[in-house]
Amino acid sequence: MENKYIVLDTETTGLNAAEDEILQVSIIDNEGAVLFDSYIKPTQHTEWAEAERIHHITPEMVADAPTIAEVMPEINDILNRYDKIVGYNLKFDKAFLENNGAEFLSTEYADVMKMFAPIYGEWNDQRGSYKWQKLTIAADYYGYDWSEHKEAHNSLGDCYATLHVYKEINEVIKNQKSEYMLLGRLQMDCNYYLGAGNRNSKHLWAGTPKEQIEKMKELYSKLVVKPEWLSEKNISDYEKAMLPQEKVENEKEQSLKSFARADETKQRISDIADNCRNACELCDKQSQNDIFLSEEQAVQAVKLGIPVGYVTKQEVHHGSSAGLHTFYILSEQNYSTLSNDESLDKGPVFHYTMTKEQKKKMLDIINAAIKDPSFAKEIEKLKRDDDIGFNMLWYAVFRTVGVFL
């Protein structure tokens, strides 16, 4: 259906799609008509105190509701009638629904949370990206009146707010249509230049690889809503592939100069890891200076054995003596599960018990490993061959951010 789409949202007993359960599902179409809205009775959970404080759904409210299995045929019927699905932190809702039998056959998805982030413009230097914002912030930014429908953190109310924000953002995109089209043309030129074009500059809109890349960077920086089909990293990859190879080699050489010996780097990691061993016992005794990482940096750090945490929600503030902290072991196996929870407005971190100098060294090591895969593999090999403390438990700190969108 051209120009037709649905907006969906869920409320849940918690953040873990594999263990928590759905408490409410709502779906509306692009005109705001309600297609589905129902509380859901969980089969495994009888209480959800922390989540209840956010969305106010009590056990009594869902006691007589249908189970998710009972309503899934109706939900799937709706999902299968539309080619486009919109949501706010859509990945979170999809994960819960898919774990309960939802069939997502749509060919197009729009996550309004990711679309809004560059518009709001709160940059995170450590992650190298724009910070994701709560739906309430996005709705207020575009003057949404919550009193028109349901309150925030009710899934139907969140659907209406998401629809409002999505339509506003689409107006912004419409006004920059020519820039999007030219950027798409430039990208296609680059792909042809590197493939069937045999690196012949006559196939480039700008005339030369350098000017082509510069134009792409210029257009990308002007776009208020960044396209899902092109990222800054993609442009950087085109630059490395299209510009003279000497530049790439120089970058590689520079990264290796800082860390000439892999075994020396391994020892640095071990020394710093030792300083973080008792992180959870030191919460009230040391200052909190978490450094946030990009997803790429976090994955590389985990592979190298560098202590990394993951910030998520908790009712008590981290470092507070008012309550105990909850910690996760962060490893390659469970990192993907944690990182898939996009309701977090933070991300992977170095634990605060590291000094600034230690954190800087860790960042340097990680960035060098990202630039030079052979260097990274050497460190990882040493890590496997010689257990010098890499099997310690590294934890994710749970902070209060108060979002269940």
76-86: pLDDT as tens digits? 999 999 999 99
Q: Between the CA of residue 2 and those of 29, 81, 82, 127, what are the distances in Å?
A: 13, 12, 9, 37
Distance CA 91, CA 110 (A): 10
Asked which of 120-134, 140-154, 295-309 is least confident by mean pLDDT, the reply is: 295-309
Q: What is the 3-state secondary structure (H, E, C) of 280-335?
A: HHHCCCCCCCCEECCHHHHHHHHHHCCCCEECEECCCCCCCCCCCCCCCECCHHHH
Q: Is residue 254 domain-resident?
A: no
Question: Are 114 and 145 members of one domain?
Answer: yes
pLDDT value of position 346: 45
Query: Would you state the torsion angle of the CA atoms of residues 117, 119, 120, 121, taken in this order, to the nearest 10 degrees?
Result: 80
**How far is residue 93's CA from residue 52's CA, in Å, rounded to a whole number?**
17
- Secondary structure of 117-130 in the HEC alphabet? HHHHCCEECCCCEE
- 234-243, long-range: CB within 8 Å, 24+ apart, which pairs? 234/187, 238/187, 238/190, 238/194, 238/213, 239/213, 241/194, 242/190, 242/193, 242/194, 242/199, 242/209, 242/212, 242/213, 243/209, 243/210, 243/213
- Per the CB < 8 A criterion, the answer to whether 46 and 21 are in contact is no
**16 and 158 in a common domain:** yes
pLDDT above 60: residue 41: yes
Same domain, 63 and 136: yes
Q: What is the distance between the terminal CA atoms of the chain, rounded to a whole angstrom?
A: 27
234, part of any domain:
yes
Of 190-199, 221-230, 254-263, 332-341, minimum mean pLDDT range: 332-341
Domain assignment present for 24: yes
Cα separation, 302 vs 370, in Å, equals 12
Number of domains in the chain: 3
DSSP state of 8: E
Residue of higher predicted confidence among 281 and 149: 149
The CATH number of the domain holding residue 57 is 3.30.420.10
Q: Which domain holds residue 200?
A: 177-223+230-249
Identify the band that residue 268 occupies on the pLDDT scale cut at 50, 70 and 90: low
Q: What average pLDDT does the structure give for the chain?
A: 76
Q: How confident is the model at residue 120 (pLDDT cuts 50, 70, 90)?
A: confident
DSSP H/E element including 108: strand 108-111
Give 257-263's long-range contacts (Cβ < 8 A, gap of 24+).
Answer: 258/364, 258/368, 259/364, 259/365, 259/368, 259/375, 262/375, 262/378, 262/379, 262/382, 263/382
| Dihedral sign of CA atoms 161, 167, 168, 173 in order | positive
Does residue 267 lie within any of the structural domains? Answer: yes
Taking the whole predicted model, whether its pTM rises above 0.75 is answered as: no
Q: How far apart are CA 377 and CA 383, in angstroms?
A: 10
154 lies in the same domain as 289 = no
104 lies in the same domain as 242: no
DSSP code, position 371: H
Most trustworthy range by pLDDT among 99-113, 290-304, 335-349? 99-113
> How far apart (Å, rounded) are the C-alpha atoms in residues 68 and 22?
7
Q: Is residue 341 part of a domain?
A: yes
Residue 252 has pLDDT above 60, yes or no: no
Q: How far apart are CA 147 and CA 162, in angstroms?
A: 14
Alpha-carbon dihedral sign for residues 199, 200, 204, 206: positive
Residues 21-43, mean pLDDT to the nearest whole number: 96
Please tell me the distance from the alpha carbon of residue 23 to that of residue 3, in angstroms, as a whole number.
30
Q: What is the pLDDT of residue 395?
A: 27
pLDDT at 137 over 50: yes
Instruction: Let me know: does 402 contact 313? Beta carbons within 8 Å.
Output: yes
Distances (CA, A) of 182 to 171, 228, 236, 310, 383: 18, 15, 18, 38, 46
pLDDT of residue 157 exceeding 90? yes
- Angle subtended at Cα 110 by Cα 105 and Cα 111, rounded to the nearest 5 degrees: 120
* Residue 338 token pair: 């944690």
Residues 98 and 210 in one domain: no
Q: Which two tokens stand for residue 203?
A: 């196939």
Same domain, 15 and 93: yes
pLDDT per position as a tens digit, 365-393: 888 888 877 777 777 766 665 543 333 32
Residue 277 counted as domain residue: yes
pLDDT at 155 over 90: yes
Same domain, 85 and 117: yes
Ramachandran assignment for 199, one of left (phi > 0), alpha (psi -120 to 50 degrees), beta (any other): left
165 and 31 together in one domain: yes
Residue 161 φ/ψ, nearest 5 degrees = -65, -40
CA dihedral 316→318→323→329, nearest 10 degrees, is: 110
Q: Are residues 130 and 197 in the same domain?
A: no
